[in-house]
Amino acid sequence: MNAYRWLLLDADNTLFDFDAAEEFALTRTLIRHQLPPSPEVKACYRAINSALWGACDRGEISQDALVLKRFNLFFQEMGITGEAAEWNDFYLNALADCPTLLPGAEALCRKLADRYILALITNGVTFVQRRRLKNSPLGPYFKDRIFISGEMGCRKPDKRFFDKVLTSLGATSQKGKVLVIGDSLSSDIRGAFNARLDSVWLRWPSSKPGPIRATYEVENLAQLAQLLEVDRYLPITI
């Protein structure tokens, strides 16, 4: 394997268990507004939300517009009335209060930090990501190397996002020593491709292949640890 120095790690569903956080936040939001938190109701919201985030990755809608439009479309589908801004504020605060990590994520970062320089790269909402990171054990492994699209004026997969990250890290002239790691083909892996960086696609069972190919593929964090040659230092329960 190439002798990488910098690892650019995505946050949600790479280190943080976003599915668990979303389940927690969505359940609380629905109950607050007296809707049943049933699988059918949640599936309706998730389908809308997923489609809009895909459009956001393609540059078709801004994140600020997305977080309101998803609830307005949800209201239409459910045949209810509501205030999108209020729903969104409550939902995001609930999301920020759930810093659950994927199993093995903290142990992995602890060992990776002994060998690599770690940076966190995320398109998530700024205050949500800052609060979740603060309330998790991961902060010391990233220190000030935290790059959030809302603070940078651009987002993954835009090449400018990665250019700014590399400049901040002092790695612009050493792209061959930078590795992007994430679960999203449309933002992480496409972004790495746009920036001419190597990448690892964390391919979960629900992931669907696309036209962009990563340099490496793994199916879980244990395989990622093996790929990055830190697996022998990790507990077998990862």
Identify whether 10 is a catalytic site residue: yes
Cβ neighbors of 88 (< 8 A, separation 6 or more) are 67, 68, 70, 71
Of 10, 12, 17, 198, which one is the catalytic site residue?
10
d(CA 150, CA 127): 9
d(CA 99, CA 137): 9
Point out which residues pair with 219 in neighbouring strands.
Answer: none
What positions carry a catalytic annotation? 10
